[in-house]
Structure 1
């Protein structure tokens, strides 16, 4: 996969969308950066087309809707099957994400939610039936997110600062 170089505007758009994509408009980003809203919309489209921005995820408080057991399940998968097994976990009811790791024995981390211990037991059985070995399970109390700070407006760019687009480019 070829690397996509980001300029200052790209980084700023990503940062602002990571802060709160649901309530941040292209017009707001444009006004804060000093470009036109169409420039920001075009950048967002290009970042999506280039697979830099993938999806639009929301942070759900599962406990408020009756799923008080929010857990990370650490699994071991055979290396040749690791990627496919990580993807297969997403078909299990209650699994909300899976992370495939390149190193270590616990090479798949599955995030799952359930109402009670029976839900988590069923999820564990379903993971085992895929061929995953469950190494450990941890209940999560809280999870916090923030945008990647190097994309923020106060950070120095890691590449040439002269790559900033002129206002109303595109």
Structure 2
């Protein structure tokens, strides 16, 4: 697996994208980072081409969007095909899949739904894919934050270069 070497400018761009990708324009980021807007656009293109930036997706409040139930299925995917995560993600209601490296309970699947029947149907489809559902937990709240190591030195003005 090849890694892409991020420099401080790349990290600064990623910092601003993580804060608010929707409203972070190349011009705004360039001003904050004291570089040309064309540099930001070129770096964004390169990081997208290299797979560092995979997608831009909104963070949703599923309850406000009409999906009040959110469940985390903990599954065992022994003998599952290599692309099982992508296959699971295509199932109705599935919003996130995490594959763990080791252990019996090696797949976490986050599902949203409008009612228990919808969640039951999704669980049945997962079982039909060969997954064993070990546990299901209703999620109350999930809080996340951007990775705080990207760009802090350039954003805070502590750039050593």
Common fold: TM-score over 0.5 = yes
Contact 1:83 1:100 (C-alpha < 8 Å) held by counterparts: no
Contact 1:82 1:100 (C-alpha < 8 Å) held by counterparts: no
Contact 1:8 1:161 (C-alpha < 8 Å) held by counterparts: no
TM-score of the pair, normalised by structure 1 = 0.87
Q: 1:137 and 1:83 mapped to 2: Cα distance?
A: 23
> Could you say which residue in structure 1 is the equivalent of 2:58?
58
> Could you say which residue in structure 1 is the equivalent of 2:145?
146
Q: 1:57 and 1:83 mapped to 2: Cα distance?
A: 25
Contact 1:67 1:113 (C-alpha < 8 Å) held by counterparts: yes
Q: Deviations over 1:56-83 (max 9, x none)?
A: 11111111122100111111011x5253
Count of aligned pairs between the two proteins = 157
User: Unaligned stretches of 5+ in structure 1?
Assistant: 163-170
Residues 1:22 and 2:22 aligned together: yes
Contact 1:90 1:98 (C-alpha < 8 Å) held by counterparts: yes
Q: Deviations over 1:24-62 (max 9, x none)?
A: 111111001100111001000000011001011111111
Residues 1:4 and 2:32 aligned together: no
RMSD: 1.6
TM-score of the pair, normalised by structure 2 = 0.91
Contact 1:70 1:113 (C-alpha < 8 Å) held by counterparts: yes
